Structure 1
Amino acid sequence: MPRLTPSLSGRGFTLIEVMVALLIMSLMSVMAWSGINGLLKSREIAQAHLDHSARLQTVMAQWEADLRAVQDSGAAPALTFDGAALRMTRQQPLGMQVVVWSLREGRLLRWEGPVVQSSTELGDSFERSARLQPQDRGQLRTLEGVGGWQLYFYRGNGWSNAQSSDDFSSEAAPPVAPPASGNGNGKGEGKADGKGDGANKDDSGPKRQILPSGVRMVLDFAPDSGFNGKLTRQIILGPQS
């Protein structure tokens, strides 16, 4: 009988061929995963930038809203800056409110006092705002990674440092009238000669602060803040009623 030989077309893969095929598939899987991982990381980075930008825009919108509502009540300074905190009194539908923006340990914070309706309460709230401590409650962390800030007020025809540009009107509080002389019988006699001496004019009374017409803020961001360089934002203050 003739001897039958196995057909070459029917033989299976060798172990080496299987290992080579598995190696190729592994390399393709790694390359595919690297591509997917890169896309996911790019998406996360893009989303983080969008979140940072959205938060920054929200904070700047609130800052502008506070300044546009600044109102000089006469009971407390309407707008002051001491290098660490910007304090203001702003108008609310139900009264007046003290708002403080401050920079502490790389964080831009915002604090707001209660809405009050009397001059005494407004003065007390302003004094309380000057004693705020980092651990006090009610201070909202608006931005992280702020390395420094500078504020400028616009008065006249130019910008000047907000710490050295306070201006006051020449209007002083009216002097107290002297008591009239009397004769002890309930009748008083007053004399006035109509003469005045300009050298004796008393203008030492309290003077009213003149608000700037514009405010400029420059934020210097830290390298790890997610923002690059500096941000400059300026605003024109609203009219005083």
Structure 2
Amino acid sequence: MMQASSRRRGFTLIELLVAVAVLAIVAVLGWRGLDGIVRSRQALTEQMEQTRGIQLAFAQLQSDLDHLALRKQLRSRENMSADTGRFALVRTVLEEGEPTRLQVVTYRIVDGVLTRRESLPTRDLLRLDILWQAALNNTDDIPGVVLQSAVDTMAARIWRDGGWQPIPAEAQGTQDVQDRLGLELTLQMRGQTGPLVKVFMLGEKN
């Protein structure tokens, strides 16, 4: 009788408390691991989206530079300008059945958002001067297309005369400019320790 009673005996209160404590510890560790995986996935997704946005922005700029207007087309006017948080250029617009026209394109950082604006194309150089000054003075009312957010700074340099040089922020008249072979664009992303640097080949000869 005593052996049968011993076999029917359940868990003691202490054993149940130990079991509950072990399960609680396992649950906490499992939750922390799952939370870490979810956070890592979110961070990776944000990083991938940022990388994709930057790649699209660089691809758009490459397309604009591929159609960069030559200074001889502009009668010695500047075809690009750079200042703090802004990069502007003049590109040619080629459409089937239409004559070649000129367009001002501006990349600008406003409140950490990189946007691209393009003016209406024109064949009138005087009209182009007005559009160019509006872009330089940030007075153009053209709606911008958002390319990337969380961008702190943007800087651009041009390769000419055998080295990297700053791009003038204002038109420099009919200055003697040697071959422009490359453009270096630097973006400092928010929260990143180092900047993103992209070099574009130009191959322009003035």
Same fold (TM over 0.5): yes
Within 5 A, what are the aligned runs for 1:211-222? 212-221=180-189
Helix, strand or coil at the partner of 1:7: helix
Deviation at 1:103, TM superposition (A): 3.4
Higher helix share: 2
1:99, CA displacement in angstroms?
A: 0.1
Structure index of larger Rg? 1
Residues 131-170 of structure 1 mapped to structure 2, 5 A cutoff: 131-133=137-139, 136=141, 138-163=143-168, 168=174
Q: Which runs of 5+ in 2 are unaligned?
A: 96-100
Contact 2:161-2:179 within 8 A present in 1 as well: no
- Contact 1:217–1:232 (Cα < 8 Å) also in 2: yes
Deviates more, 1:34-43 or 1:146-155: 146-155
Residue in structure 2 matched with residue 125 of structure 1 by the alignment: 131
CA contact (8 A) 2:157 2:185 kept: yes
Residues 203-225 of structure 1: per-residue CA shift (max 9 Å, x gap): xxxxxx7773322222334xxx2
Q: Which residue of 2 aligns with 1:87?
A: 88
Match of 1:173 in 2: none
Secondary structure, counterpart of 1:52 in structure 2: helix
| Counterparts in 2 of 1:29 and 1:236: CA distance versus 1, 3 Å | same
Alignment of 1:59-138 (within 5 A): 59-72=57-70, 73-74=73-74, 77-94=78-95, 95-133=101-139, 136=141, 138=143
Amino acid corresponding to residue 220 of structure 1 in structure 2: Q
Q: Superposition RMSD on alpha carbons, in Å?
A: 3.1
Residue identity matched to 2:21: L
Letter in 1 for 2:115: L
Report the Cα offset of residue 121 of structure 1. 4.3
Cα offsets for 1:23-55 (capped at 9, x unmatched):
222222222222111111111112221111111
Deviation of the 1:100 alpha carbon? 0.8
Q: Which has the larger strand fraction?
A: 2
> Could you list the runs of 5+ residues in structure 1 that have no partner in the other structure?
171-208
Residue 52 of structure 2 is matched in structure 1 by: 54
Which digits, 9 at most, give the CA deviation of each residue in 1:133-155, with x for residues without a partner?
Answer: 59x55123433344433322222
Scaled by the length of structure 2, the TM-score of the pair is 0.76
